[in-house]
């Protein structure tokens, strides 16, 4: 019978206590190499220039396109006397509620036309940084790849894609213009193993647009499974907590709107399905 010093096993490895094992399980740094660095100062400048270039290429517009519908909730919250007899503004359910409250906040901070184009430019910069992170993660010549993608995106202009024919980026501020760039940025951060930041970016994207929540959920969990993040509880919780909070808020408001039985719910649902944005709800357009 072999005797070993206290705390050692037969292969001379120290036995860990339950507390040490739990700490090892929750510490990504002990089980995985450190995540890759994000961006240097020069690359940050490149991402900023790419966002400014995209902003100028797409242009800055106000009260155009879908804004004729999406600005109504912001106006209703900001100006109680805004066309008070208009049924569409005051009696129907505005399903992009987060965008409406963002407009209300922007209106309180400054002139809404200026603030809206400022936020629009910021979303373009976020989209540019997402593309830069992706090119840096997977391309040997990342700067060249990033420049080619930015140039192609500027030439191609707005395009509809994905669930419900939403815009990834366009020339004015609307819910998909916030959600699309944040979806790209969130996925790029997830590929760089920045789970906490990715959770907030993807969560905000889904809060502003349900279609992006659907596709973001699929892409995020495919990434989690493929990368083995499901084995790292600390990173997984860092991703899931913001998603549960932000996506849960969207689902709760949507469910309340769908199942309430007061006011002009039937008329509001008819407007949603047949007039305001039918392509978001018609399955054949997905």
Beta bridge partners of 197: none
Q: Out of 16-20, 34-38, 190-194, 233-237, which region has the weakest mean confidence (pLDDT)?
A: 16-20
Number of other CB atoms surrounding residue 217 within 10 Å: 14
46-90 pLDDT per residue, tens: 999 999 999 998 888 888 887 888 888 888 888 888 888 887 788
Q: Is the dihedral of CA 224, 225, 228, 230 positive or negative?
A: positive
Please calculate the CA angle 56-119-138 and round it to the nearest 5 degrees: 70
Please calculate the CA angle 123-127-128 and round it to the nearest 5 degrees: 115
Q: Exposure string (b/e) for 230-240, b if CB count within 10 Å is 16 or more?
A: eebeebeebbb
What is the Cα–Cα distance from 79 to 121, expressed in whole angstroms?
Answer: 25
The dihedrals phi and psi of 111, each to the nearest 5 degrees, come to -60, 130
With bands split at pLDDT 50, 70 and 90, how would you rate the model's confidence at 163? low
- Distances from the Cα of 263 to the Cα of 63, 90, 130, 180, 260, angstroms: 29, 11, 43, 33, 9
100-109, 154-163, 250-259, range with greatest mean pLDDT = 100-109
- pLDDT score, position 117: 92
105-151 pLDDT per residue, tens: 999 999 999 999 999 999 999 999 999 999 998 888 889 999 999 99
Give the chain's mean pLDDT. 79
- Distances from the Cα of 259 to the Cα of 168, 206, 252, 269, angstroms: 30, 21, 11, 11
Q: Which comes out higher in pLDDT, residue 2 or 86?
A: 86
3-state secondary structure at position 111: coil
3-state secondary structure at position 8: strand
Structure tokens at 155: 């030439």
- Distances from the Cα of 268 to the Cα of 160, 162, 243, angstroms: 25, 25, 28
- pLDDT score, position 265: 53
Interstrand relation of 160-161 and 166-167 (parallel, antiparallel or unpaired): antiparallel
User: Do 110 and 101 contact (CB within 8 A), yes or no?
Assistant: no
Q: Which comes out higher in pLDDT, residue 121 or 281?
A: 121
């Amino acid at each position: 019978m072999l005797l070993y010093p206290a705390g050692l096993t037969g292969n001379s490895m120290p036995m860990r206590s339950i507390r040490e094992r739990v700490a090892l399980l929750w510490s990504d740094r002990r089980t995985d190499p450190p995540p890759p660095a994000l961006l240097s100062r020069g690359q940050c400048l490149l991402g900023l220039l790419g966002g400014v270039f995209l902003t100028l290429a797409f242009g800055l517009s106000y009260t155009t396109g879908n804004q004729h519908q999406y600005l109504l909730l912001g106006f209703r919250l900001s100006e109680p006397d805004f066309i008070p007899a208009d049924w569409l503004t005051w009696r129907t359910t505005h399903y992009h509620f987060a965008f409406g409250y963002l407009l209300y906040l922007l209106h309180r901070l400054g002139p809404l036309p200026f603030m809206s184009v400022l936020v629009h430019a910021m979303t373009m910069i976020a989209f540019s940084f997402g593309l830069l992170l992706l090119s840096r993660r997977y391309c040997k010549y990342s700067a060249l790849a990033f420049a080619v993608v930015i140039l192609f995106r500027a030439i191609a202009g707005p395009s509809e894609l994905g669930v419900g024919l939403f815009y990834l980026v366009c020339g004015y501020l609307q819910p998909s213009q916030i959600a699309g760039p944040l979806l790209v940025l969130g996925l790029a951060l997830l590929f760089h193993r920045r789970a906490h930041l990715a959770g907030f970016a993807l969560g905000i994207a889904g809060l502003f647009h349900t279609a992006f929540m659907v596709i973001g959920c699929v892409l995020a969990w495919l990434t989690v499974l493929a990368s083995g993040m499901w084995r790292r509880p600390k990173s997984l919780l860092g991703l899931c907590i913001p998603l549960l909070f932000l996506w849960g808020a969207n689902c709760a408001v949507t469910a309340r709107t769908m199942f309430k039985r007061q006011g002009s719910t039937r008329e509001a649902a008819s407007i949603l399905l047949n007039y305001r944005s039918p392509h978001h709800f018609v399955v054949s357009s997905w």
